[in-house]
Amino acid sequence: MENQRGHVIVLPYPAQGHINPLLQFAKRLASKGLEATFATTHYTVKSIQATTVGVEPISDGFDEGGFKQAPSVKAYLESFKTVGSRTLAEIIVKYKDSDSPVCCIVYDSLLIWALDVARQFGIYGAAMLTNSASVCSMYWQINQGALTLPVNPETIPLSLPGLPSLRFSDLPAFLAQPEASPVYLAAILEKFGCLNKIDWVFCNSFEELEDELVKAMLGLWPLVMIGPMVPSAYLDQQIAGDSAYGASLWKQTGDECIRWLDKKPENSVVYVSFGSMTDIAAKQAEQIALGLKASNKSFLWVIKDNENKLPVEFVNSIGETGLVVTWCNQLEVLAHQAVGCFITHCGWNSILEGLSLGVPMVAVPQWSDQPTNAKFVEEVWKIGVRVRKDENGIVIGEELKMCVNEVMDGEKSKEIKRNASKWRELAKKAVSVGGSSDRNIDEFVAKMLKAEGK
């Protein structure tokens, strides 16, 4: 028994933005001496490449096509709960009599049924929140009765502990339009109803980034900050060779982007990407094209499905000024010295990546937690500006041009760049030896190395 290592199963929700931080956490746990097994769906398992982490398939009931195969969100989540619980249990049984029986499940907080599986086997259960702590606190306040849905317009601007004053346009989409995604909203609210039953609640953020909230919530809820979960090569370099997440559900474009960036001057390129889930409408794509062209800046634009979305004359006229691709290695691009601005949808992973690499941002939020993240980008962390949309919810080209020029060359640009560099250093410090996130992870690892069960 002396050689027995703590064995942790890490279970993501099978979408790119959830897989990345949980896989990164698994790698970090492995680098600190734990045995980590990444349990992901049959449909996504072939996309995982992580040499230091074990990988096991589980079933969501849709092994051929994953989420796209399901008839509805509700059907998918119910199937994943039923079939996932059974197949997750099978993995635990598989290791039960080995040298390293499983002592904890770290699960994506959307998959709260994993806690029932942990309890069934008498092992620890730990949830991972993949949004900011600030956004998560708003859902928690609903559970506490301090915030009601739908949000009463008379309470706007909203004042909540540890958060800036929030206008209606700053609220997460699930709170601003609760009727638009009732199934996901129900799943989110359910997970915040059982926080006090979980052994650990991890958050992919760091204490310094959300210090007002951390102070306000101290002793009220069991949050442990362990982020940013970004490959080690870009921050603390504690994990040898860790230069990529090790998971991609999209086909990469090879070195084309880097070769193109290599020819550009330092801080001269605008990088545009709206993440793995957001689908940009043709009208919006056209306005972005107009704004990029009018800015007179070089640009690298990732647009997954650009068929018939981009004006033909735009595509034919960009020449060496711009490069349009369907996907790229975002970390490599953001780390490149030629990139001086990141036009982002403000997904939490993209925010953490841009912030960890010190890249100023133009915030173009779409849905979910993104409006709140955009608020923080502009007004709290002051690392960029947020676009203003027209009455139809479209960002017109002239607005985008003005925002790009403000971040790159305008009156605020020096302050924005200073703040971006400051947050990069604080992110690096948090995950480095002795930093706030590193200490929190070490405490968990120490407990796991002693664990022979709950």
Amino acid (one-letter) located at 83: V
The encoded tokens of residue 171 equal: 């609220």
List, as one string, the DSSP characters of 97-146: TSSS-EEEEEEETT-THHHHHHHHTT-EEEEEE-S-HHHHHHHHHHHHTS
Catalytically annotated residue among 18, 236, 345, 369: 18
Task: For the chain, report the end-to-end CA distance as a whole number of angstroms.
Answer: 17
Distance CA 194, CA 23 (A): 24
Catalytic residue among 7, 60, 108, 170: 108
Catalytic status, residue 63: no
What is the phi-psi region of residue 305: left when phi exceeds 0, alpha when psi lies from -120 to 50, beta otherwise? beta
Q: Is 42 a catalytic residue?
A: no
Q: At what angle do helices 413-431 and 436-450 cross, to 10 degrees?
A: 20
- Strand spans (E) along 346-411: 361-363, 384-386
Is the previous residue joined to 371 through a cis bond, with omega within 30 degrees of 0?
no
What is the C-alpha to C-alpha distance for residues 200 and 339, in angstroms, rounded to an integer?
Answer: 38
| Distance separating alpha carbons of residues 371 and 331, to the nearest angstrom | 23
- Cβ atoms of 170 and 176 closer than 8 Å: no
| 325 beta partners | 302
Q: Say how far apart CA 17 and CA 67 lie, in whole Å.
A: 14
294 near 365, Cβ under 8 Å? no
CA distances from 312 to 6, 242, 318 (A): 57, 40, 10
Residues belonging to the active site: 18, 108
